[in-house]
């Protein structure tokens, strides 16, 4: 083998090894980014409900969808109607709205007004109260409630606990 072609061969061989190494390390990197198989397969999201502040809307994510979480103030709790209570989740002494953050009209994301304690969907003017119940058309119903299970101070989204089943049976959510 001539010196130059030997160099060419060595270069190719090294390139091939480096290529395999790069693919392997990319694969390892991707593996570390991916969620654990159990998390991915089950599609659960666990929320620590003690972390939320009164009347401060937080948008979480579950299965790629926005989830509104709103902890009620003592005044909101005191003013709740039975219907609003029926749409709300009680954890410890606190009440929360946990709803899909998509307007039930055509799927826009409504905005929360903490002063008015209500939601407005800017797309066609639909409105919801602080419990996610519809107060102004065109939305045909209140914001949908994702499947949930209460686990102490935690809320597991994606699991159907008894409180969620009750809401579904009584027609509070689809």
| Interface map 88-127 toward ligand FES (x if CB under 6 A) | ---------------x-xx-x------------x-xx-x-
Phi-psi region of 68 (alpha: psi -120 to 50; beta: other; left: phi over 0): beta
The residue to which tokens 């049976």 are assigned: 169
The 10 Å Cβ neighbour count of residue 18 is 10
Q: Compare residues 70 and 155 and give the one whose CB is closer to ligand FES.
A: 70
77 touches ligand FES by CB under 6 A:
no
Q: Which residues contact 36 (CB under 8 A, 6 or more apart)?
A: none
- Of 35, 42, 57, 19, nearest in space to 147 by CA: 42
Q: Count the residues of the shown chain that bind ligand FES, applying the rule CB under 6 A.
A: 10
Give the separation between CA 45 and CA 41, rounded to whole angstroms.
12
DSSP-assigned beta bridge partners for residue 127: 120, 136
Choice from 86, 138, 158, 161 touching ligand FES (CB under 6 A): 138
Q: Compare residues 51 and 106 and give the one whose CB is closer to ligand FES.
A: 106
| Interface map 139-168 toward ligand FES (x if CB under 6 A) | x-----------------------------
Task: State the nearest-atom distance from the C-beta of 49 to ligand FES, in Å.
Answer: 27
Q: Compare residues 71 and 101 and give the one whose CB is closer to ligand FES.
A: 101
């Amino acid at each position: 083998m001539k010196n130059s072609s030997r160099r060419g061969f060595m270069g190719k061989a090294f390139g091939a090894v480096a290529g395999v190494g790069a693919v392997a390390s990319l694969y390892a990197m991707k593996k570390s980014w991916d969620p654990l198989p159990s998390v991915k397969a089950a599609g659960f999201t666990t929320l620590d409900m003690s972390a939320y502040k009164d009347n401060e809307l937080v948008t979480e994510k579950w299965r790629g969808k926005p989830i509104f979480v709103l902890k009620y103030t003592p005044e909101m709790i005191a003013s709740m109607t039975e219907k609003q209570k029926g749409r709300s989740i009680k954890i410890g002494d606190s009440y929360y709205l946990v709803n899909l953050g998509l307007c039930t009209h055509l799927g826009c994301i409504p905005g929360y007004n903490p002063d008015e304690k209500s939601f407005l969907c800017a797309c066609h003017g639909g409105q919801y109260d602080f419990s996610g119940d519809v107060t102004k058309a065109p939305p045909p119903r209140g914001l949908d409630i994702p499947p949930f299970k209460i686990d102490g101070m935690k809320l597991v989204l994606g699991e159907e606990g008894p409180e969620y089943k009750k809401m579904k049976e009584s027609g509070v959510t689809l």
